[in-house]
């Protein structure tokens, strides 16, 4: 079996805002319970693997930073060494189910704290995590924080699929990917942790690892100001040095006039095998396109175990286009970055309500004119 080594780097700061509602955690060895890593330090991947998690809190005046911290702390508890027993890491199905259970547990704890303390009522968070174990990386997410993979041979791939209204428009064919980047409703997400009206519905995916892969998790403070091709350009230039890559991404976001908190988690995969087995099929080759389709409401995927590092990247599954977009019963609105204070936020809400009232008034006057 190939020996896999990993190299990590990360950064999380307020960046484009006054307060930081993002949280993150990395562990290069889940077996030791230390929840630590040393930047750019090469570590052999252990039996229980390594983990990266990024959470983006929502509701600045309602303790978004508390929600993201609770989510991270819950993940740390669930991924303690003693809980990762042989049954949990037995196979693909058990690993994916465990990730989903951990995310739902974080959702429950956030809701419990919000109901206990009125000052935190309505707080929420997104979450994305990457569990690197054996020869695969498992991605779990709820919301629009993202997971990417870069490899020099096949470029940058988005491993997660945003739970957002704009992404629904893209999936349905009503909006192009290029137009989605600056869409005015990009702050509306359709799934999150802490939504009091429904239980969190995370998704999970498994991907085979390739030698030289760079796994990146980030909040939308990064992906919201840099397009995927811009991210790829930066990562490609620094793909062998995670500290340099982190700093270059940070500076690129700054130069792009960031307007939100920014969190970046990076992990480079290094295989010590002399060569890959050309006869080994990847997960994508073992699974049909139909089986790879993400079933959004059931969050099921069919993935076969991958015994050694893959030589080719699997295509990223695409959600089947729908004929129309059904807006969710309740959207989770992430206030735009420029509305940071409570006063500014409520002025923003009142302005929207005022516009609605004016619209109805004009409509009434027009109808009255034509009737009389």
Whole-Å CA distances, 125 to 12, 101, 116, 234, 296: 15, 16, 17, 28, 19
Tell me what pLDDT residue 317 has. 46
CATH code matching the domain that covers 4-338, chosen among 3.40.50.2000, 3.40.50.300, 3.60.40.10, 3.30.160.270? 3.60.40.10
Tell me what pLDDT residue 142 has. 98
CA–CA gap between residue 189 and residue 347 (Å, rounded): 22
Domain positions in the chain: 4-338, 341-372
Tell me what pLDDT residue 335 has. 55
CA–CA gap between residue 299 and residue 336 (Å, rounded): 29
Whole-Å CA distances, 329 to 168, 178, 181, 190, 195: 14, 27, 24, 9, 12
Helices (H), 177-315: 177-180, 220-223, 228-237, 242-255, 283-286, 289-292
Q: Is 109 helix (H, G, I), strand (E, B) or coil?
A: helix
* Residue tagged 């993201």 (tokens): 68
- Give the mean pLDDT per block of 10 residues along the chain (372 residues): 90 96 97 92 97 90 88 98 97 98 98 92 95 97 98 97 97 95 94 94 97 98 97 98 98 97 98 47 34 34 34 46 43 51 59 76 68 54
Torsion angle of the four alpha carbons 54, 247, 223, 217, in this order, in degrees rounded to the nearest 10: -30
Tell me what pLDDT residue 324 has. 45
CB atoms within 10 A of CB 23: 27
Residue 81 is encoded by which pair of tokens?
Answer: 């060494």
Helices (H) and strands (E) in the chain, counts: 10, 14
Q: Is 169 helix (H, G, I), strand (E, B) or coil?
A: helix
Q: Is 33 left (phi over 0), alpha (psi -120 to 50) or beta?
A: left
Query: Could you tell me if 263 and 221 are in contact, meaning their C-beta atoms sit under 8 angstroms apart?
Result: yes
């Amino acid at each position: 079996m190939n020996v896999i080594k990993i190299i990590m780097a990360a950064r999380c700061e307020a960046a484009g805002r006054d307060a930081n509602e993002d949280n993150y955690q990395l562990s290069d060895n889940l077996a030791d319970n230390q929840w630590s890593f040393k930047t750019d330090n090469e570590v052999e991947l252990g039996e229980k693997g390594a983990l990266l998690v990024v959470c983006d809190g929502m509701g600045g005046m309602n303790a978004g930073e508390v929600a993201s911290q609770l989510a991270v702390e819950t993940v740390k508890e669930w991924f303690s060494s003693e809980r990762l027993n042989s049954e949990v890491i037995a196979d693909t199905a058990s690993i994916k189910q465990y990730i989903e259970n951990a995310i739902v547990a974080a959702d429950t704890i956030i809701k419990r704290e919000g109901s206990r303390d009125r000052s935190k009522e309505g707080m929420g968070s997104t979450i994305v995590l990457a569990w690197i174990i054996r020869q695969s990386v498992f991605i779990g997410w709820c919301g629009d924080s993202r997971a990417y993979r870069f490899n020099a041979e096949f470029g940058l791939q988005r491993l997660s699929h945003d739970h957002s209204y704009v992404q629904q428009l893209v999936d349905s064919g009503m909006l192009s990917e290029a137009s989605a980047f600056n869409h005015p409703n990009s702050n509306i997400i359709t799934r999150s942790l802490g939504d009091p009206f429904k239980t969190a519905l995370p998704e999970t995916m498994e991907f085979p690892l390739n030698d030289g892969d760079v796994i990146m998790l980030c909040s939308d403070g990064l992906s919201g100001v840099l397009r995927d091709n811009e991210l790829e350009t930066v990562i490609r230039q620094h793909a062998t040095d995670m500290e340099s890559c982190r700093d270059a991404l940070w500076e690129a976001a700054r130069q792009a006039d960031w307007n939100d908190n920014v969190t970046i988690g990076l992990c480079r995969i290094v295989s010590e095998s002399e060569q890959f087995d050309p006869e080994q099929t990847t997960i994508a080759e073992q699974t049909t396109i139909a089986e790879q389709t993400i079933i959004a409401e059931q969050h099921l995927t069919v993935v076969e175990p991958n015994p050694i590092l893959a030589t080719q990247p699997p295509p990223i599954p695409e959600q089947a286009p729908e004929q129309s977009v059904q807006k969710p019963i309740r959207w989770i609105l992430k206030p735009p970055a420029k509305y940071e204070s409570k006063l500014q936020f409520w002025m923003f809400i009142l302005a929207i309500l005022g516009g609605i009232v004016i619209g109805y008034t004009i409509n009434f006057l027009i109808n009255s004119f034509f009737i009389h």
